[in-house]
Amino acid sequence: MYVIAVYDVNEKRVGKMLKLCRRYLNWIQNSVFEGEITPVKLQEMVVEANKIMQKEEDSLILFKSRDARWLDKEVIGLERMSTDNFL
């Protein structure tokens, strides 16, 4: 599946969230990640995120799609980072 993950967490926990998401998805801009991931790996990421987050203050939003093809991505302005596997 293809996922876009967006989080808004307290400054104190922002570093931990960033490090966690980097292991599973591609960073595209501040607090936003995207990438291909299997449902079970996403589940694992969410389990880990739950350990970091404080539910009354932080949030993590996931936009899920069966396939990247169902998604039209348009970047306006500067593209901070590509998600290509050719470097």
Partner 1 sequence: MQVTATIIAYFHTCLRKMYLHHHGIRMEHTSDVVYEGKLIGESTYEDRAAKNTQLELDGIKIDYYDAKTKTVHETKKSDKMEHAHEAQVLYYLYVLQRNGIEGASGIIEYPTLRQRKHIDFDPERDVPIIEGWLQEIEQILEQEQCPPVINKSICKSCSYYDYCYVAEEIEN
Partner 2 sequence: MKKPYYLFNPGRLSRKDNTLKFTPVDEAGNEGQPRHLPIESVEELYVFGALDVNSAVLNFLGQESICVHFFNYYEHYTGSFMPRDYLLAGKVQIAQTRAYTEAKRRMPIARSLLDGAAANMLRVLRYYGYRERDLGLPIAAIEDLRQRLPDAKTSSELMGIEGNIRQNYYQAFDEIILDYDMGGRSKRPPKNEVNAMISYGNMLCYTQCLKQIYHTQLNPTISFLHEPGYRRYSLALDLAEIFKPVLVDRLVFSLLNKKIIQANDFRWELNKCLLKESGARNFAKYWDERMNETIQHRSLNKKVSYKHLIRLECYKLTKHVLNDGEYKPFKMWW
Residues 6+ apart with CB under 8 A from 44: 24
Residues 31-70 that bind partner 1 (CB under 8 A): 38-40, 43-44, 47, 51
Residues 6+ apart with CB under 8 A from 52: 9, 13, 16, 17, 20, 58
86 in contact with partner 2 (CB under 8 A): yes
Residues 23-62 that bind partner 2 (CB under 8 A): 23-27, 35-38, 41
Residue 67, annotated ligand binder? no
Residues in touch with partner 2 (CB under 8 A): 19, 22-27, 35-38, 41, 81, 85-87
